[in-house]
Amino acid sequence: MTAELLVEKRAGEQSIVLEKRAVLLAPSTVAGPKESRGPLAGSFDRCYDDLVLKEKSFERAECHMLEEVCYLAIGKAGLVPNQIDYYLGGDLLNQIISASFCARKLAIPFFGLYGACSTLAESLCLAGMMIEGGFARNILVAVSSHNCSAERQYRYPTEYGFQRPGYAQWTITGAGAAVIGVSGDGPRLESLTPGKVVDADIKDPYDMGSAMAPAAADTIYTHLNDLQRDPSYYDLIITGDLGGVGKKLNEAILERNGVRIAANYTDCGLLIYYPQQQVDAGASGCACSALGFFGYYYPLMLKKEIRRILLVATGALHSPTTFLQGESIPAIAHAVSLEI
């Protein structure tokens, strides 16, 4: 086999075009109390009205949500756990414990991924490649985040009182899962652009929108460039959780590079809550892109109101240790193009 043949599915610098059918099926979402009072309340499969879910810790509660949403997705796809070939996923906590503990219960071969809030797109990218390579028939992708477990790991204890800056974002309590299969009704994964790690020298851990926007801009720009597409090729370009500040910055960076996306561009971080819910710049967390895309845009795709979507989930790859030591925040964004 020549080298030419090996790389025939690659496009441009870093993109991949999928030729086989990798279909996104059975998207499922569960959401916590604050999200259940937001504008998307009606589109979640299950809403919880307390934060601990009768478990003994926030970490257990997050794992509980993740298990729940995995079983929901597998059930919706008409499968049982041992028909799933691989489980890809992650979360925000140290050692991605929610995903690993959930995998312990599911007993499916598991790849734990960490891409902070970009984990959903990272999982989708790898699932697409696995299906394309013929290594699997059904892959479960699942992500979760919990406001309190993330808050206590990254910032302050949950009951600690302080003033949040206006550009801070609110970590979502929720989880999302879907099955990537080879057949069925649903949007297919059409092309992927795994992103590079980009560091724009932002040091404030509350300012994640500004830290992640350059990564999102870089991935969107590279994706469009690699596949020789105009932003208008997509009915909608969705970023994961840039929030109000990051969304504007992303638009501005792309505009300076000659790409105008404002007309068909939206951010999941601005979808989940009402402005009066006091979340400042918007939502964030692994579950943000999952709740926004699976909950709101997937049904629109099934109705064929939207046919082409570019999902770009972004993640800030810092830790509480690195920011205390004065390091800047590196960020990453992965893009997945879906078509129906």
Residues near another protein (CB under 8 A):
13, 56-57, 152, 156-167, 196-202, 207, 210, 214, 217-219, 221-222, 244-245, 248-249, 252-254, 256-257, 278, 280-281, 328
Residues constituting the chain: 340
Q: Tell me the residue ranges of DSSP E strands in 21-149.
A: 23-31, 46-47, 86-91, 110-112, 139-145
**Whole-number minimum distance, CB 89 to another protein, in Å?**
24
The structure tokens listed for 64 are: 């509980």
Q: Are 331 and 119 in contact (CB under 8 A)?
A: no
Residue closer to another protein by CB (options 111, 221) is 221
DSSP H/E element including 251: helix 243-256
Q: Which is nearer to another protein, 140 or 217 (CB)?
A: 217
**Bridge partner residues of 143 (DSSP):** 90, 176
Specify the residue for token string 């991605």.
96
DSSP label at residue 117: B
Residue 161 Cβ vs another protein, minimum distance, rounded to whole Å: 2
Answer positive or negative: Cα dihedral of 337, 266, 253, 329. negative
Query: 55 burial class (0-12, 13-18, 19+ CB within 10 angstroms)?
Result: middle
Smaller CB distance to another protein: residue 310 or 340? Answer: 310
Write down the least CB distance from residue 175 to another protein, Å: 21
Tokens found for residue 195? 């992103």
* E strand map for 99-147: 110-112, 139-145
106 vs 281 by CB, closer to another protein: 281
Min. distance of Cβ 247 from another protein in angstroms?
A: 11
149 vs 337, beta carbon nearer another protein: 149
Radius of gyration over alpha carbons of the chain, in Å?
A: 19
What separation in angstroms does the CA of 5 have from each of 1, 189, 310? 6, 22, 27
H helix or E strand, kind and range, residue 313: strand 308-316
Indicate the residue among 132 and 226 with the shorter CB distance to another protein. Answer: 226
If one counts every other C-beta atom within 10 angstroms of the C-beta of residue 323, the result is 17
Complex with another protein: residue 94 or 278, whichever CB lies closer: 278
Closest CB to another protein among 202 and 283? 202
Structure tokens at 330: 């590196």
The nearest distance, CB 57 to another protein, in angstroms, is 5
State in angstroms the smallest separation of the CB of 201 from another protein. Answer: 4
Closest distance between another protein and the C-beta of residue 47, in Å? 20
Nearest distance from C-beta of residue 125 to another protein, angstroms: 17
